[in-house]
Amino acid sequence: MLYEIRTYTLKPGSVPEYEKRFAEAVETRTKYSPMYGMWHTEIGPLNQMVHIWAYDSLQQRFEARAAAGRDSSGNWPPKTSDLVVSQESDIMLPIAGMHHHSGVQELGGVYELRMYTYPPGATGGVAQAFAEKYAGRHGVYPVGGIWTSDLGNLNRLYQLLPYKNWDHREQVRTELREKGLWPPHTEARAVTQLVRHMVPAPFSPLR
């Protein structure tokens, strides 16, 4: 399985309108392949929408997107182009043992998306280290996903971490530190880090 993460930067103040228009079209799109989740940024780079879609293969991605665009309803793609400033798409692969969430999952109102870029050639070892610690981290509170980039912006590790609320985030992080469960130790050091704190869209399966 592979995952696509799409990051759209919107005009300031247009997030509510974007979500409204997307909600009117998303049922058409999900007839052809399921959405994994969708959020807007609350802290970090603002006015951004982040979607994640899961596919069996790049061919399935191509076929699902094409079929949605041909749907007789005419609802896809959503009529949002006037709100969008820029778009970015990357293909990600899950770390070994990652749990794939199916359907609606009520995991919380705050999602943390951590994106680390490593030196070329280092992400394989980093992914292995995270995979070895994954079960302990997931056991304290479910992980949304951990991936490495495969196409697009390379040498990246993505962590999607849900929390019930801000207080719950601090509780989980404290428990992980005290038990020595997280974060994993790696010899490689990230050369850049970016963290987004996000709120799920009303129609997001992960919310």
Q: How confident is the model over 94-112, as pLDDT tens digits?
A: 999 999 999 999 999 999 9
Between CA 143 and CA 137 the distance in angstroms is: 7
Mean pLDDT of 19-42: 98
When the pLDDT of each residue in the chain is averaged and rounded to a whole number, the result is 97
Longest dimension (CA), the chain: 55
At residue 59, the pLDDT reads 98
For the chain, give every domain's residue range: 2-200
Helix (H, G, I), strand (E, B) or coil at 46: coil
Tokens at 184, concatenated: 């994993």
pLDDT at 163: 98
CATH architecture of 2-200: 2-Layer Sandwich (3.30)
pLDDT of residue 62: 98
Write the pLDDT tens digit of every residue in 141-166.
999 999 999 999 999 999 999 999 99
Token readout for 101 is 């969430």
